[in-house]
């Protein structure tokens, strides 16, 4: 703790980076173009990698740098490239579809973020002397990602929402268990890779069958 109840410079920096990740999540919710959504996901993943690097230098645990490099390679370059190629191939819609207007979905997300904040903040978890704020922000990121997946009715936004949810989980795991064995962290990353493949296939199949990326057509299949 610094003077006047302010967190230390490291804590403040880590908190701020986490808040930037949260803001990127809100920006994803706001952006309608699928392309810009994927770009925002890449930017968000980059910020998470920066967080890993900052923690690596703060903790002298340099294996986190390997993790940062891996997540840059995978989440900043590979996943966005695969996703944008899928969208370009589908060629059907440029913009995603939402069931709510921008302002209402932002308000709902704000309420959900507040819930995430308080739900996690009340647990009072403390790790490595880092402030509980980061965990609370991670909770908010996950909640907003859920809102993104819920209010959007196109496959691409929903999968981007799922991937960015993984970013929220990464933030939490980086802070709580920075000393976690590298192999586990890498395993998480490869989980994500599996998810990308699964979602890629799903998007292809859905587009081939429905001729669009919107999931609202699927509702018609109800028996």
Q: Determine the angle formed by the axes of helices 34-59 and 79-90, rounding to 10 degrees.
A: 180
CA distance 26 to 10: 25
Q: Is 200 in the site for other proteins (CB under 8 A)?
A: no
Nearer to other proteins, 6 or 205 (CB): 6
Residues 21-50 that bind other proteins (CB under 8 A): 22-23, 26, 30
Contacts of 147 (CB under 8 A, 6+ apart): 29, 105, 108, 109, 112
Tokens coding 92: 């059907």
Do 72 and 44 form a contact (C-beta atoms < 8 A)?
A: no
The reply on whether position 136 binds other proteins by CB under 8 A is yes
Task: Give the pair of three-digit tokens for residue 154.
Answer: 């196109």
With beta carbons less than 8 A apart as the criterion, state whether 7 and 133 touch. Answer: yes
Q: Is residue 119 within the footprint of other proteins (CB under 8 A)?
A: no
When the beta carbons of 2 and 73 are compared against other proteins, the nearer one is 2
Least distance to other proteins, CB of residue 137, Å:
7
Report the residue number, 103 or 220, with the smaller CB distance to other proteins. Answer: 103
Report residue 222 as tokens: 């109800």
Name the phi and psi angles at 152, rounded to 5.
-85, 145
Q: Per CB under 8 A, does 133 bind other proteins?
A: yes
Map residues 4-23 to x or -, x wherever contact with other proteins holds by CB under 8 A: xxxxxx-xxx-xx-xx--xx
For other proteins, the closer CB: 8 or 216: 8
Alpha-carbon Rg for the chain, nearest whole angstrom, is 18
- For residues 83 and 112, which CB has a smaller minimum distance to other proteins in the complex? 112
Q: Which stretch binds other proteins (CB under 8 A): 38-46, 74-82, 115-123, 154-162?
A: 115-123
Query: Least Å distance between CB 83 and other proteins?
Result: 25
H-only helix segments in 60-181: 63-71, 79-90, 102-121, 133-151, 155-176
Q: What's the closest the beta carbon of residue 40 comes to other proteins, in angstroms?
A: 14
Measure the CA–CA gap between 67 and 1, rounded to whole angstroms: 28
Cα-Cα-Cα-Cα dihedral sign, residues 97, 101, 102, 108 = negative
- When binding is defined by CB under 8 A, the residue of 31, 45, 86, 131 that contacts other proteins is 131
Interface residue with other proteins among 55, 56, 140, 178 (CB under 8 A) is 140
Interface with other proteins by CB under 8 A: which residues? Answer: 2-9, 11-13, 15-16, 18-19, 22-23, 26, 30, 102-103, 106, 110, 113-114, 117-118, 121, 131-133, 136-137, 140
């Amino acid at each position: 703790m610094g003077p006047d109840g302010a967190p230390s410079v490291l804590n403040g920096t880590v908190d701020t980076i986490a808040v930037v990740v949260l803001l990127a999540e809100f920006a994803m919710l706001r952006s309608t173009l699928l392309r810009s959504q994927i770009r925002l996901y890449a930017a968000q993943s980059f910020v998470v990698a920066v967080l890993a690097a900052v923690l690596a230098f703060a903790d002298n645990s340099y294996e986190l740098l390997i993790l940062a490099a891996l997540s840059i390679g995978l989440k900043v370059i590979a996943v966005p490239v695969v996703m944008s190629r899928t969208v370009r191939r589908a060629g059907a819609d440029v913009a995603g579809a939402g069931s709510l207007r921008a302002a209402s979905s932002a308000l709902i997300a704000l309420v959900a973020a507040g819930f995430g904040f308080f739900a996690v903040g009340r647990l009072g978890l403390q790790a490595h002397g880092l402030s509980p704020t980061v965990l609370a922000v991670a909770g908010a990121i996950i909640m907003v990602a859920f809102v993104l997946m819920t209010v959007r009715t196109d496959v691409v936004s929903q999968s981007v929402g799922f991937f960015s949810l993984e970013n929220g989980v990464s933030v939490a795991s980086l802070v709580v268990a920075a000393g976690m064995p590298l192999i586990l962290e890498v395993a998480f990353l490869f989980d994500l890779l599996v998810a990308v493949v699964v979602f890629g296939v799903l998007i292809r199949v859905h587009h081939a069958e429905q001729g669009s990326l919107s999931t609202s057509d699927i509702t018609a299949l109800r028996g």
